[in-house]
Amino acid sequence: MLDLNSEIHLPPTADFHCHLRQNAMMELVTPFIKKGGCDTVFVMPNLQPPITQVSQAISYHEELSRLAPDVKFLMSLYLHPSINADVIAEAARSEIIYGVKLYPAGVTTNSQDGVLDIVQYYPVFDAMQTHDLVLNIHGETPDIAVLDAEAAFMPQLHKIHAAFPALRIVLEHVSTREGLEAVRQCGATVKGTITAHHLWATTEEAEQDIYSFCKPIAKTPADRIALLKAVVDGSSKFFFGSRAKYEKGSDSAPHPVQLKQQAGGAAGCFTQGWCTALVIGALQHGISQGWITKDEVTREAVEGFLSTYGRAFYKISNPNRTMTPEPRILLTREGEVIPKSIRSSDRGIEVVPFHSGQEIISLSTVPDQCAYEDKKEWIR
């Protein structure tokens, strides 16, 4: 059992669904990755224009690395008619591109150039299976009721998995019991990510608070509880994607205040700077409500969800074989409050974080001296 009410030492979080946008918004939000406890992020490609070429991904990687040199950025391509087997082979050789994102056309931010006919891309999926790239799926069916959109897409997930059983697939930002069950029914090559905000919000909150509105929209209380249980089930079928959306992969997804407040509101919750603490807080709340038990919240399950399961699935090696202490993150209660908003240096862009104004667990980075001593002994 992991005691969530005392100091908590964890390995750095890996966020496998992260929106970092571009230009001034990118400059504002990218430094928040480390603040949230992450050292690795899988970057979404739905920019304007979308990242459909390897050269674009390389340029984007260079921009992000300049802003956060201590972060490992896993890049992705946007599935598009211009992508073929040759592009997939080039992407695999790049050593920075880890996946290709499938957006059904029209389901979320900047998805107007997305997929209309999934079968059309079977030759691409075959090349991805050959070159061992991950297929990342926004699993919603467009043009139906939003509460039914994820469940309606699940037959497509099963169809792709059956046709390409060796293709590694991630169902992004799972938000329903049906999504969880679909991932569980698939083989070991299919996983799912769960965001921080889906562990907190339900449809009611998303309807009442524009800063809790995201896509997939938060669902029922029963779905929220099922997601919490999946976080601690220890199966390795699910790992963290914050979706910081400005939009939170984290699924952290940032949007400017003006877009959130306009009619209809841009879909996305900005969680990046507090994503690890939000997950731990959601588990604490789940225990207090009796939805999960203290005994279920094991160190293995929490570290797995936040860090190790995703790294293993994406086959990320640990380059830190040096004689230096490895970093850990430390979470403590110090009365920190999530700010009402964050602004760019010229104050031209303002973003309101998810749960702004609420108290949050504080996070810092510390050296893991115990691991350091063990490593010294192992190297001898």
What string of DSSP letters covers 130-185? HHTPEEEE----TTS-GGGHHHHHHHHHHHHHHH-TTS-EEE-S--SHHHHHHHHH
**What pLDDT score was predicted for residue 138?**
95
CA geometry: angle 138, 141, 143, nearest 5 deg: 130
Distance separating alpha carbons of residues 296 and 357, to the nearest angstrom: 30
Which tens digit of pLDDT belongs to each residue from 258-310? 554 544 556 678 999 999 999 999 999 999 999 999 999 999 999 999 999 99
Strand partners, 24: none
Residue indicated by tokens 């603490």: 277
Which tens digit of pLDDT belongs to each residue from 67-84? 999 999 999 999 999 999
Which tens digit of pLDDT belongs to each residue from 224-253? 999 999 999 999 999 999 855 443 333 444
Q: What pTM was computed for the model?
A: 0.89
Residue indicated by tokens 């980075």: 365
Higher pLDDT, 164 or 114: 164
**What pLDDT score was predicted for residue 256?**
53
pLDDT surpasses 70 at 61: yes
Q: Which is it for strands 169-171 and 134-137: parallel, antiparallel or unpaired?
A: parallel
